[in-house]
Amino acid sequence: MPIALYALTVGAFGIGVTEFVIMGLLLEVGRELDVTIAAAGLLISGYALGVAVGAPVLTTLTACWPRKHVLVGLMIVFIIGNAACALAPGYGWLMAARVLTALTHGTFFGVGAVVATGLVSEDKRASAIAIMFTGVTVATVLGVPFGTWLGQHYGWRVAFWAVTLIGLMALAVLVMLLPQERTKPEASDWRADLRVIARRPVLLGLLTTVLGYAGVFAVFTYIAPLLTEISGFDESAVSPILLVFGGGLVAGNLLGGRLADRNLICAILGTLAALAVALAVMTFALGMQAVSVVFVGLLGATGFATVAPLQMWVLSKAEGAGQSLASSFNIGAFNLGNAIGAWTGGMVIDHGPGLAFLPLAATVLPLLAIATALLAARPANAESLPFNQTGQPE
């Protein structure tokens, strides 16, 4: 793998930290800014909204720019946004700064995925995407816990200054290592790009992403009460157990990329099926503490093993400049899956069979994702397939 690919990994690490670090600092933010925990929690929703809006808008506006310039520009906005978070005098300013930072998220990963696939040979494209997303998994395992510790001991503003520093380092690495494109991107017609998104295989890919990732976050959003109330762990044990989840993310992410390089459709169906099985069995595993820890790791591994194959699916059906927009839309689909999964999990807890049966109820979501992928793969719809008869991208 070329060293330039790891420049994208560093940028992904910084963005991954800033997205999730606020989750561990809601109490500190609420106390200093004199807002409720629920209001502080909206800082997470505001970020998700910024991702959803920024991905298609910024990707379209920067479609004619050299991709290295796009990624460097996004990292500069990322640095400014995190510095603004650290300096925010009040809740409204902090929310605005979070949304500004989030605008870079979808486009960075969307354009970055296209750049990553262009740096390697065709048979390693999914693995290249997985290596870029390793930055997010490492951020979850190491960056977020360290940022939370930093914020709890020295103030939440210090955590955002630390993320700003990470952004500066990522900017330097991108400038030094990412190669300049030899040819300028062709002028993009946003209407034509949207027509690419509207293709049936692309829409099915986006829907598969939403459903598959919703299954992960229907459970992960409520992992703390599952571990404490169902498995019987002390609250102090949750953070160490989440390190197991993070380890699963790293392993699953890299494995998913390798599987997708061998056979894309089998990788999609196989990883989604593994996720469904892990969720179903987790319902019963939660009653045994040692086994429940294993299944927390399996949830991370099977959940993130789907990322590279699903991203590659969408890229394989988009063409030309439309690839960047389709890729960015798929990043938005992951975030939409997060939101839908959290809402679905809440409904199961409040109005369904309850917390103990949450993983079993969440199994329905990856099963629906499998059905969506199979619908696209029906021979009768060969002209709309995301794959040819060999299972490889067309």
Unique residue bearing structure tokens 């998220």: 105
Whether 267 contacts 256, CB under 8 Å: yes
Unique residue bearing structure tokens 């404490």: 228
- Check residue 84 and give its pLDDT: 95
Nearest to 86 by CA among 12, 15, 18: 18
Domains of the chain: 1-187 (1.20.1250.20), 189-394 (1.20.1250.20)
Tell me the HSE value of 1 on the side-chain side, using a 13 A CA sphere: 19
Answer whether 0.85 is exceeded by the pTM. Answer: no
Question: In this structure, what DSSP letter does residue 393 have?
Answer: B
Sign, CA torsion 176/178/180/182: positive
Distance CA 219, CA 344 (A): 9
Per-residue 3-state assignment (H helix, E strand, C coil) for 154-177? HCHHHHHHHHHHHHHHHHHHHHHH
Distance of CA 100 to the CA centre of its chain: 18
CB-neighbour burial class of residue 243 (10 A; exposed 0-12, middle 13-18, buried 19+): middle
- Check residue 320 and give its pLDDT: 58
| pLDDT one digit per residue (tens) for the chain, 394 residues | 778 888 888 888 888 888 878 776 777 888 888 887 667 767 877 887 788 788 778 877 877 788 888 899 999 999 999 999 999 999 999 999 999 998 888 888 888 888 888 888 877 888 888 888 888 878 877 777 788 788 878 888 998 999 999 999 989 988 888 887 766 656 566 676 677 777 777 888 888 888 988 898 888 878 778 888 888 888 778 778 878 888 888 888 888 888 888 888 888 899 999 999 999 999 899 888 899 999 989 998 998 888 888 888 887 777 655 677 777 788 778 878 877 887 788 788 878 788 889 899 999 999 999 999 888 766 544 443 444 444 444 4
Unique residue bearing structure tokens 């953070």: 239
- Tell me the residue type at 102: A
How many H-runs (helices) and E-runs (strands) does the chain carry? Answer: 18, 0
Whether 29 contacts 156, CB under 8 Å: yes
Helix, strand or coil, per DSSP, at residue 263: coil
Distance of CA 238 to the CA centre of its chain: 22
